[in-house]
Chain A
Amino acid sequence: MMNPAVLIASVYVFVLAAFLGYQVISRVPPLLHTPLMSATNAISGISLIGSLVLAGSKGYPLQAHILGFVAVTTATINVVGGFGITDRMLKMFRQRGQAKKEAAK
């Protein structure tokens, strides 16, 4: 059974993260809303660390390892694919001079 103080701390973290998220994300211009979505998606691929524990921990039954394997796979797809594609998109957003130069190449 878990210590209630830890749980309360978790609630604090949640509420403060929500507040911070609101402040930071409402400053993102509509121009970058698609990269924003794929970036937050990649970041929430952090559930990978929960999946890793499930896939590899000592004394877990085989079914748990298999579930963990699938979870590691899908979460890794999100992390690798999400960061990769976000970078690919952000590379395309250029200012006037840069865009001309790239097009000339």
Chain B
Amino acid sequence: MSLTTYSLSTYFMEATYLIASVLFVLALKGMSHPETARRGMFLAEGGMFAAIVGTLIGTNIVTWVWLIAGLAVGSIIGAWMAIWVPMTAMPQRTALSHAFGALAAALVGIGEFMVNINELGPIKRGALGFEIMLGALTTTGSLIAAAKLQGIIQGKPVQFRGQNIVNLTIFAGMIGCFGYFCYDPHASTVFYAMLGIAFLFGVMLVIPIGSADMPVVMSLLNSYAGLAAAATGFVLGNNVLIIAGTLDGFSGFILSVLMCKAMNRSITNVLFGGFGAVIAEATATVDGVMREISLDDAAMQLAFANRVIFVPGYGLATAQAQHAVRELAELLEERGVTVKYAIHPVAGRMPGHMNVLLAEANVPYSMLYEMEQINPEFSSTDVAVVIGANDVVNPDARDNPKSLIAGMPILEVDRAKSVIVLKRGQGRGFSGLENPLFFKSCTAMLYGDAKSSLSHLAQAVQHV
């Protein structure tokens, strides 16, 4: 867009973009506290609306059919998702939205290649290449992640011999196409080859990653989707796209780093580490027996405790037990028991997963405690109730330097006077690691579906 074509409507459009950018930043600032977060999001919605209206007025739009059809179909599907997707399905929904965002960026990139390639200088062609590669690999990668989270394909890592070499070859092929495309922008075969390889690379990148590592993968895909949008901004020379995309990209990046820290692993280790591959040899058997506890005994322990901490994990989400745990907690509070919830950063399948589930069940957020806040309190706690969590409470991470998860910060439930573990069966968790916590003398196991166990506990507590 050259300066000579600037008309009044173009200035109006640019003004709406500036307003939108400011409102987006204010919205994220509002996210620093639950009290201000909702108001912030209204600002962002206003900014988005302004930018859309500005675009429709300020650009030379003549064909309205496709545009209105897209807006209508998208709004219907989007509204349906917003209203009907259950909170337990939030990780899948988020993964899907990463795919949609990235796909939009990739398609805009393809369109730009078809229409405007002659007007793009070398640097913009580079940005276009990034947009295509990031957009395409995030699309397929996110779809695989969503399918894993939804259980359409198995959550276990898919691994084969020479996987890293195959992936490196694919990656090199993609970069090769990218380099050639920067050199010769008219080689459309190379351009579409780059697109195709990037789609394939997205699949290969996510299939070797197990369900327990999903929080990192989700955050990374979030980051890529944002960076793809930012690259679109570079190609189109559009600042609000650069700003919004960069905010998204950095948010995802920061979350990835936090998630990796919470697992004491590096990003490369998550992506290429092959967590599942070494399990068989490294799993030590633990001596001792798991002590089972009856519902009535567990209820008795809880009812006469002074302080109880609930430790939710992914099992809470699969059993949809968030309402049941809140009911039990309220009954205990009525009896004068102090109840808190301990949330590990990587509990669940995406950052903040447990907080959302418990908030849905009307648990006030002041009862949710982060790992650093709650760990010193376990030693003065009478009963810690672990609900479908495993690795995040595995004391081996702290005590056994040979353990696969050595150094991972854990919730130190084993320091509590007694521990009740709600678990479906005697099997190992998703990582396949043995958990010595289950064999400790202070630990008692309560087998069964977490939801029904919790509601039975609640009934039993009422009758104590």
- Check if B71 is an interface residue, CB within 8 A of chain A: yes
Once the chains bind, are B240 and A46 in contact (CB under 8 Å)?
A: yes
**Shortest distance between the CB of B109 and any CB in chain A (Å):** 9
State which of B23-31, B278-286, B288-296 sits at the interface with chain A. Answer: B23-31
How many pairs of residues, A versus B, come closer than 8 Å at their CB atoms? 380
Once the chains bind, are B250 and A65 in contact (CB under 8 Å)?
A: no
Known: A47-B232, A50-B108. Is A34-B101 also a contact (CB below 8 A)?
A: no
Once the chains bind, are A81 and B81 in contact (CB under 8 Å)?
A: yes
Q: Please provide the chain A residues from 3 to 57 with a CB less than 8 Å away from any CB of chain B in the complex.
A: 3, 6-7, 9-10, 13-14, 17-18, 20-22, 24-57
Once the chains bind, are B90 and A34 in contact (CB under 8 Å)?
A: yes
Once the chains bind, are B81 and A77 in contact (CB under 8 Å)?
A: yes
CA distance in complex: A68, B69 (Å):
11
Main SS at interface, chain A: helix
Once the chains bind, are A44 and B244 in contact (CB under 8 Å)?
A: yes
Known: A1-B121, A34-B352, A58-B62. Is A75-B362 also a contact (CB below 8 A)?
A: no
Give the size range of A's interface with the partner. Answer: 35 or more
**Chain B residues with Cβ under 8 A from A1's Cβ?**
119, 121
Q: Please provide the chain A residues from 76 to 105 with a CB less than 8 Å away from any CB of chain B in the complex.
A: 76-96, 98-100, 102-103
**Chain B residues with Cβ under 8 A from A102's Cβ?**
362
CA distance in complex: A49, B59 (Å):
10
Once the chains bind, are A44 and B248 in contact (CB under 8 Å)?
A: yes
Once the chains bind, are B78 and A95 in contact (CB under 8 Å)?
A: no
- Check if B384 is an interface residue, CB within 8 A of chain A: no
Known: A47-B241, A81-B78. Is A35-B44 also a contact (CB below 8 A)?
A: no
Once the chains bind, are B233 and A69 in contact (CB under 8 Å)?
A: no
Once the chains bind, are A40 and B38 in contact (CB under 8 Å)?
A: no
Known: A38-B97, A79-B48. Is A13-B74 also a contact (CB below 8 A)?
A: no
Once the chains bind, are A74 and B34 in contact (CB under 8 Å)?
A: no
Once the chains bind, are A85 and B82 in contact (CB under 8 Å)?
A: yes
State which of B50-58, B156-164, B165-173, B298-306 sits at the interface with chain A. Answer: B50-58
Known: A30-B355, A46-B240. Is A90-B66 also a contact (CB below 8 A)?
A: no
Contact residue among A13, A70, A73, A86 (Cβ-Cβ distance under 8 Å from B243): A13
Interface-central residue, A44, A63, A79, A92, by most chain B CB under 10 Å: A44
Once the chains bind, are B28 and A47 in contact (CB under 8 Å)?
A: no
- Check if B377 is an interface residue, CB within 8 A of chain A: no
**Count of residues in B whose CB is under 8 Å from the partner chain:** 114
**Chain B residues with Cβ under 8 A from A32's Cβ?**
31, 34, 37, 352, 355
**Chain A residues with Cβ under 8 A from B66's Cβ?**
55-56, 65-66, 68-69, 72
Once the chains bind, are B77 and A77 in contact (CB under 8 Å)?
A: yes
Once the chains bind, are A49 and B97 in contact (CB under 8 Å)?
A: no
**Chain B residues with Cβ under 8 A from A52's Cβ?**
52, 55-56, 59, 61, 67
- Check if B153 is an interface residue, CB within 8 A of chain A: no
- Check if B370 is an interface residue, CB within 8 A of chain A: yes
**Shortest distance between the CB of A104 and any CB in chain B (Å):** 10
Q: Please provide the chain B residues from 226 to 274 with a CB less than 8 Å away from any CB of chain A in the complex.
A: 226, 229-230, 232-234, 236-252, 254-255, 258
Once the chains bind, are B70 and A27 in contact (CB under 8 Å)?
A: no
Once the chains bind, are A84 and B41 in contact (CB under 8 Å)?
A: no
Once the chains bind, are B244 and A43 in contact (CB under 8 Å)?
A: yes
**Chain B residues with Cβ under 8 A from A31's Cβ?**
34, 352, 355, 365, 368, 370
29 A-B pairs with C-beta separation under 8 A: A2-B120, A3-B2, A22-B250, A25-B31, A27-B32, A30-B258, A34-B90, A34-B350, A35-B37, A36-B255, A37-B252, A41-B97, A45-B104, A46-B244, A50-B232, A54-B112, A54-B115, A57-B60, A65-B63, A74-B104, A77-B100, A81-B77, A81-B79, A89-B90, A90-B37, A91-B38, A92-B359, A98-B364, A99-B363
8 closest A-B pairs by beta carbon, nearest first, are A76-B74, A84-B82, A72-B70, A80-B78, A33-B352, A81-B78, A34-B352, A33-B351
